[in-house]
Amino acid sequence: MWISTSRLLAYLYGLVFAVGGLAASDADTDFTSVRSQFVKNYSGTGPSEPGEKYFQESSFHYHYDGRFANEPLSDKETPPHLSQLIRTYLSTMADLGAETWIMHGTLLAWWWNQKIFPWDNDIDVQISEPTIHFLDEYYNMTEHHFDIPGLNGGRTYLLEINPNYVFRSMDDKMNVIDARWIDTSSGLFIDITAVRPDDERRKDGDTGALMCKDGHTFDENDIFPLRNSHFEDFPVKVPFEYVKLLEEEYGSQSLTATEFDDHHFNEETLVWDSASKRKRSSRRRSAVDLPVRTTPLKYKLE
Ligand SMILES: *[C@@H]1O[C@H](CO)[C@@H](O)[C@H](O)[C@H]1NC(C)=O
Ligand SMILES: *[C@@H]1O[C@H](CO)[C@@H](O)[C@H](O)[C@H]1NC(C)=O
């Protein structure tokens, strides 16, 4: 399915958000009160029984969709495919007016040099609950084609929404991933998880409690307001308290240790060099649009 009229709707939807953004920048306006106008309350809605597992992983690798491939990409092919996967995702979400941000290992990679780790083969992103409803309503199974420099014919990506996203509890262990952005040329995909109000914890008076079906819990102030940065030379949003979130999930070592998975972080070039091959990563940095690290370097000297 190609985008047509729904694209216009998204555009109008985006405008509504843009107006909201203006209001939020007004110094007299409390950020959370403005946000809540746009955040529909979905608590208590949805079925009471979890469904069967919806997304299938390929038999050859858990990060590939077997409908589109029979084998994983080579080590050399993987990084450029991942890079275009996240760029096309971010670009599409921006076009749709759908707010998204990076999390988990992808956030850690961003912290170091705003690049995917050379040894990684997955990318984690999050969206809010109203956004997954929006994507379900207008964009499930939409295909998005991109021209890619140096690649004949470009590539097509598919946005697929798990119908079980409406089941809002962590009990649904088979459907913890709410949506996927899939590279139909290789089967490689991005896991998209929806961050939702945590009804249980909110009942106990924890008004900012958030959760994902994959078991992660957050506080609204850890994630919002999102910060603007770049990842893979592309505009991206990151959670407000990224250092706290990374230290909680990976330990403070993860922000200081410059040796990892047979790689060494070169503080001059800001590249993870492969130790065993004794050669620099073949992925070159673009000189334009490079983000500036916002975390004080003292985190690396502790
Ligand atoms: C959301 O709805 C539920 C049930 O309808 C209600 O108990 C809860 O207070 C609401 N939360 C907010 C933030 O409005
Ligand atoms: C998205 O479309 C697929 C294919 O038609 C369908 O299996 C799935 O249930 C849909 N997701 C939602 C959220 O409706």
pLDDT digits (tens, 9 = 90+) for 4-45: 444 444 434 433 333 333 333 344 445 454 455 446 778 777
- The answer to whether 103 and 214 have CB atoms below 8 angstroms apart is no
As a whole-number percent, the residues of the chain with pLDDT over 90 amount to 59
Instruction: Spell out the residues 6+ positions from residue 268 whose beta carbon is closer than 8 angstroms to its own.
Output: none
Tokens of 7: 């694209």
Residue 277, pLDDT score: 60
Residue 167 near ligand 2, beta carbon < 6 Å: no
Residue 56, pLDDT score: 83
Task: Return the CA Rg of the chain.
Answer: 20
**Separation of 204 CA from ligand 1 center, angstroms?**
13
Residue 138 near ligand 2, beta carbon < 6 Å: no
Ligand number, closest to the Cα atom of 56:
2
Which helix (H) or strand (E) element contains residue 202?
Answer: helix 199-203
| Sheet with 271-274: strands ordered across | 259-260, 263-266, 271-274
Query: What are the sequence ranges of the domains in the chain?
Result: 61-293
pTM, to two decimals: 0.80
Q: With a cut of 70, list the residues of the chain below it in pLDDT.
A: 1-39, 277-302
Helix (H, G, I), strand (E, B) or coil at 87: helix
List all residues whose CB is within 6 A of at least one atom of ligand 1: 41, 43-44
- The answer to whether 194 and 165 have CB atoms below 8 angstroms apart is yes
